[in-house]
Amino acid sequence: MEIVVSILIGLLFATAVYLMLARNFLRFLFGLILLSNAANLVIFAAGRMTEGAPALIPYGALTPDGEIANALPQALVLTAIVIGFGLFAFALVLAFQAYRSLGTLDSDEMRVAEPREEIAGEARE
Amino acid sequence: MGEYGAKDARWISMAGMTPVILTGALFVYFCGMVPTIASGGIIRHSIPWIPSLDIALSFYIDGLSLMFSLLITGIGALVMLYSARYLAGHPQFARFALYLFSFMLSMLGLVLADNVLALFVFWELTTFTSYLLIGFSHADPKSRRNALQALLLTAAGGLALLAGFILLGFATGTYELSEINAAGSLASNPLYGPILVLVLLGAFTKSAQVPFHFWLPNAMAAPTPVSAYLHSATMVKGGIYLLARMHPSLSGTDAWIWTLTIFGGVTAVFASLMALRQTDLKQTLAYTTLMALGTLTMFLAGSSGYAITGAMAFLFVHSLYKAALFLSVGIIDHATGTREAGVLGGLAGAMPVTAAAAGLAALSMAGIPPFLGFIAKEVAYSGAVGASLWGFVVLAALAANALMFAVAGIVAFKPFFGPQGKLPHAPHEGPWPMLAGPVILGVLGLAFGILHGLAASWVIEPATNAVLGFTDSGGRVKLWAGFNLALGLSVVTFILGAILYLRHQALRDRLAAIEARGPDFDAGWDRLMAWLVVVAEWQTRLIQTGVLRQYLFATFAVTAVALALPLFWLGALQLDLAMPSVTLREGVVAALIIAGALLAATTGSRITGIAALGVVGIGVALIFIIYGAPDVAITQLLVEMLIVVLIAIAALRMPYLDPTDKGPAFRPRDAALGGVLGVLVALVMLMVTAGPIDRRLTDFFEAASWTEAFGRNIVNVILVDFRTLDTFGEIAVVIVAALGAFALLRSARRDKGEERE
C-alpha cells in the first residue's frame, strides 16, 4: 500500500501546487488544504503502514502484543493536523477580511503595500 | 572653521583630554619597548580567540610594528591635543574624539596583530572608523560622498585582502604572520600568484596607488586634524605596512618587483605633478602624501638593504613632517580663513611659531641637510641605483623628489614670506595646543637628522631588519656618506626643485590644461555608482514584482530543482518497484482521493470545490482508519468537518472563483510545475518507503508507554506525556490563530461601524 499512497501523495502535491499558483485567493486556500493533507500522508507513510493493528497495549500486558502500527508518526500527524487547521482558519479569515476591505480576491490586485503606480513612478525617476 | 575653536572657547574637557592622556600613556609604554626591540628582541602576546578554528588574537612586536606603534601613538597624542583646541566648542566634539580614538586603537591593532585574520578585522575597523572621520561634517553632501567613496574602495580592497589571507592560510598551514614569514619565500607555492594579486589589491586600495588613488584627495573633506593623522602616519600607511610586513614571504619575484616598481613609480610621479597643480594647500599636501606612498611602494619592490633602509627612513621622516605640515596648514586655515596658495603670503610676522615649525618640516621634506629627510633621500637614492629596474626607479625618484622640493616651498615658504593677498581674517598666531604638534614634529625632523645614529639604531634599523627578515649590516643611515652618486643626485634634485618652484605658477596652468584632457577617475567612480544603482533597480524590479503567484512559482520551482538535482544529477534515484497488490477497499479509497483532488483543481464552482476537498479529507481519514490510526482518523474527520463549515460560512460571502462565466482557464505552465513537483515527491516517497526504517524511537515508546507512563494507548501517551511540550506548543498555535482571526474580524466590524456613522 505504501506504493499507492506515495503516488497519491504525488497527485495531491501536484494539484495543490496548481491551485496555489492561481490568482484567486480562495483557490490558493484550496491548495493549502490539499497540501496539508499530502504532508500528513507523507509523515504517516514514512513510518510504514500496518493494517488493522492500532498502537495499543492490551490489558495485562507490559508491551504490545505482536506487530502494531507505528505510533510515532501518528502522534506527529495528530499535531500536524491541528496546526494545519489553525493555519487554514487564520488564512481563511485573512482572505475574507482582505476581500471585504480590498473588494477583490485576485492576489495580483492586492497591492496596498506595493502599488503599481509607485513602482512605475520609481522606475521613471 | 570660523565658528569653532574661537579664541576664548573652552577646550579642556573630559572628552578632549582623556584620549590625549591615554594615547600619550600608550606612547610612553611603547617607548619602553625600544631597547628590547633595538637589541633584536621580539615581544609576542597571544590569547585564544576562536579556539575551534585555531584562531588566536595574537600580537607581535618587532622593529616594524614598533616603529608604526610609536608613530601612531606619538602623532596620535599630538593630533588629539590639537583637535581638542581646533574643534573646541563644536557641538559634536565628543563624538569626534571617540572616532579619532577608536581609529587610533584600530590602527594600533592593525600593526600589532600577528594573526592575519585579526589583522583583517583591524584593517576593516580602520576603514569604518576613517569613514566616520572623513564624513564627520555629515551635513555636507560632498563630505558624505567622499567618505562613502573611501569606505567602498578600501573595504572592497579589504575583502580581496581577506581572500588573500585565507589562501595564505591554505598555502602555509598557519594564520600567524610570524610563522608565515619564518617559513621564507612563498614564490614556489602554486597559490603564490592569487595570493600576491589579492594582497596587493588590498594594499594598493588602502595606500591609494594609481588607479585607486582618487579617494585620498577627496578624503580631505575631513577636518584638518583627521587629514593630518590619517594621511601622515596611519590609514594610508596601512597598505605600506602590509607590503613591508609580507615582504619576507612575498617579495623577490619578478611579479613583485615589476608590479610594485611600476605602480609605485607611476603613482609617485603622477602625484607630485598633481601636487604642483593644486592651489588649496591641503590638497597639495594630500597629493604629496600620495607621492610618498608611491615612492614607498617603489622602494619596497626591492630587497636590498639600501632600498629597504631607504623606505623605512623615508616612512619615518615622512610621517613626522607630513603631520607637522598638515597641522600647520590647519593653523593657517584657522587663523586666516583660507587655504588658497594664491592669497596666502607674508604670515611670518603674525605667526612666527607656525612659520618656524612649518619651515622645519618643509626643510625635512625638501631633503635639505642636516635634516632626517636628507638622509632618507640619500639612502633611498643609493637603493634606487641598485634596484632591478634602476633606470626607471632613479628617474621616478628624482622627479618625485624635485617636485617635492618645489612643493615644500609652496606649502611652507610662500605662505609665510611671499606677497600677501586679501585674507578673510587678520592672521594671528595659533594657540599652544595647536602649535605643540607641528613644533615638536618639526624639531624632531632636525634632531633625528643630527642624532641620526639614534634614529637609526632605535627605529629605522630594527624596522629594516623586520622587513628584510634577517639582520642587515646596518650603518647606512649617515649624514655624510662621501662623494657618491646619491649625493650627485641630491644636488640635481635641489637644482631641479628650485627651478620648478620658481616657475610653479606657469607650470600649474599647464598641468591644469593637461589634467582637463586626461581621464577623470572621480567622474568614472560616479558613473560606476550610478550604474550600480541602475542594476540594483533593474534586478529589484525583476525579482520583487509584488505578485504573490510569481513568488510562489519561484519557491516551488526552486524546491523542484532542489529535489531533482540529487535524484538525477547525483544519481540518488534507486527504484525497485513491484506491482502493488491493491485490495478493493484500498482501491476505492485511492479512487476517492484521486477524484476529489482532480475535481478540486479543475472546478469553477465554490460548492463543488468545497465538496471535493471534503472527499479528499475523508479519503485520507479512511486511510488512517484502515492502517491502525483511529485517533488520527477521528481528528482528521473532525477537522475536515470544521473546515467545510468554515469555508461554507466564509467562502459563500466571497465572489465566484472565476469573475467571468467562461469557467476556469487551464494554466499549462502552473500545471507543468505542479506535475513535475508531484512526480518528484512521489519518487522520493517511493524511495523512502522502500528503504530501511529506524524504529529505535518507536521501540522505546512501545516499551515505555505502560512501564513508565502507565498508558495503554501509545499515541496518546506520546502526545500528553513524552512530548507534552510539543502538544502545548500546538495548543498555543491554535490559540494564536484563533486570537488573530478574532482580531481581524473585530477590526472588520469596527470598520463597518465607522462607515455607518
Q: How far is B315 from chain A (nearest CA, A)?
A: 49
pLDDT at B344: 84
Chain B residue with the nearest C-alpha to that of A78? B632
Poorest-pLDDT segment among B165-169, B548-552, B661-665: B661-665
Give the CA angle between residues B467, B469, B473 to the nearest 5°: 90
**B136-186 tens-digit pLDDT:** 988 888 899 999 999 999 999 999 999 999 999 888 888 888 888 888 888
B451 reaches A (C-beta below 8 A)? no
User: Who among A19, A64, A74 is closest to B629 (CB)?
Assistant: A74
Give A42's pLDDT tier (boundaries 50, 70, 90).
very high
d(CA B157, CA A27): 52
B485 reaches A (C-beta below 8 A)? no
Q: How far is A107 from chain B (nearest CA, A)?
A: 6
Indicate whether B757 pLDDT > 60.
no
User: Who among B552, B586, B705 is closest to A57 (CB)?
Assistant: B705
> Contact A86/B658, CB-based, under 8 Å?
no
CB pairs under 8 A between A and B: 299
Q: How far is B554 from chain A (nearest CA, A)?
A: 10
Q: Higher model confidence: residue B452 or residue B25?
A: B25
Mean pLDDT of B608-627: 91
User: Who among A2, A40, A77 is closest to B689 (CB)?
Assistant: A2
Chain A residue with the nearest C-alpha to that of B552? A21
CB under 8 Å, gap of 24 or more: what pairs does B513-522 form? Answer: B515/B274, B515/B277, B521/B211, B521/B213, B521/B214, B522/B214, B522/B218
B667 reaches A (C-beta below 8 A)? yes
* β-pair partners for B55: B50
Q: Higher model confidence: residue B457 or residue B570?
A: B457
Q: How far is A121 from chain B (nearest CA, A)?
A: 12
Give B661's pLDDT tier (boundaries 50, 70, 90).
low
User: Who among B714, B737, B745 is closest to A71 (CB)?
Assistant: B714
- What dihedral angle (degrees, nearest 10) is formed by the CA atoms of B325, B331, B336, B339? 30
Indicate whether A102 pLDDT > 90.
no
d(CA B698, CA B691): 17
Ramachandran angles phi, psi of B507, nearest 5°: -60, -40
pLDDT at B754: 54
Give A119's pLDDT tier (boundaries 50, 70, 90).
low
> Contact B675/A2, CB-based, under 8 Å?
no
User: Who among B632, B695, B697 is closest to A77 (CB)?
Assistant: B632
Residues of A with Cβ-Cβ distance to B673 under 8 angstroms: 17-18, 21
User: Who among B628, B674, B733 is closest to A15 (CB)?
Assistant: B674
Chain A residue with the nearest C-alpha to that of B732? A83
Residues of A with Cβ-Cβ distance to B585 under 8 angstroms: none
Q: Which domain holds residue A46?
A: 2-124
| Residue in B374, B393, B398 with CA at minimum distance from that of residue B383 | B393
**B245-296 tens-digit pLDDT:** 999 999 888 899 999 999 999 999 888 888 888 888 888 899 999 999 999 9
pLDDT at B535: 94
> Contact A13/B678, CB-based, under 8 Å?
yes
Give B7's pLDDT tier (boundaries 50, 70, 90).
low
pLDDT at B747: 75
d(CA A46, CA A2): 9
Stretch 691-730 of chain B: residues touching chain A, C-beta under 8 Å: 693, 695, 697-698, 701-703, 705-707, 712-715, 718-719, 723, 726-727, 730
d(CA B151, CA B148): 5
Return the percentage of chain B with pLDDT > 90, whole number: 34
**A79-98 tens-digit pLDDT:** 999 999 999 989 988 888 88
Instruction: Share the mean pLDDT of chain B.
Output: 87
pLDDT at A125: 42
Q: Are B154 and B133 in contact (CB under 8 A)?
A: no
Give B123's pLDDT tier (boundaries 50, 70, 90).
very high
User: Who among B626, B628, B651 is closest to A55 (CB)?
Assistant: B628
Mean pLDDT of B698-705: 87
Q: How far is A102 from chain B (nearest CA, A)?
A: 12
Q: How many residues does chain A have?
A: 125
d(CA B482, CA B479): 9
Stretch 576-595 of chain B: residues touching chain A, C-beta under 8 Å: 577-578, 580, 582, 586, 590, 593-594
pLDDT at A124: 45
d(CA B544, CA B538): 10
| Residue in B123, B407, B465 with CA at minimum distance from that of residue B272 | B407
Amino acid at B538: W
d(CA B268, CA B291): 4
| Residue in A57, A62, A75, A77 with CA at minimum distance from that of residue B713 | A57
pLDDT at B588: 92
pLDDT at B748: 64
pLDDT at B45: 85
> Contact B715/A71, CB-based, under 8 Å?
yes
User: Who among A10, A29, A47 is closest to B678 (CB)?
Assistant: A10
> Contact A82/B734, CB-based, under 8 Å?
yes
d(CA B491, CA B684): 84
pLDDT at B260: 92
d(CA B103, CA B106): 5
State ipTM: 0.92
pLDDT at B753: 56
Q: How far is B634 from chain A (nearest CA, A)?
A: 10
d(CA B73, CA B443): 18
Chain A residue with the nearest C-alpha to that of B591? A8
Which among A93, A111, A122 is the top mutation candidate for probing chain B, defined by the most B β-carbons within 10 Å of its own β-carbon? A93
d(CA B518, CA B421): 31
> Contact A93/B616, CB-based, under 8 Å?
no
| Domain CATH number, residue A37 | 1.10.287.3510
Q: How far is A36 from chain B (nearest CA, A)?
A: 10
Number of domain units in chain A: 1
Mean pLDDT of B532-546: 87
Give B1's pLDDT tier (boundaries 50, 70, 90).
very low
Indicate whether B618 pLDDT > 80.
yes
User: Who among B598, B659, B718 is closest to A75 (CB)?
Assistant: B718
pLDDT at B13: 82
d(CA B203, CA B153): 11
Joined together, the cell numbers standing for residue B611 give 465538496
The domain ranges of chain B are: 280-502, 584-657
B425 reaches A (C-beta below 8 A)? no
Indicate whether B713 pLDDT > 80.
yes
**B198-241 tens-digit pLDDT:** 999 999 999 988 888 888 888 888 888 998 898 887 888 999 99
pLDDT at B8: 66
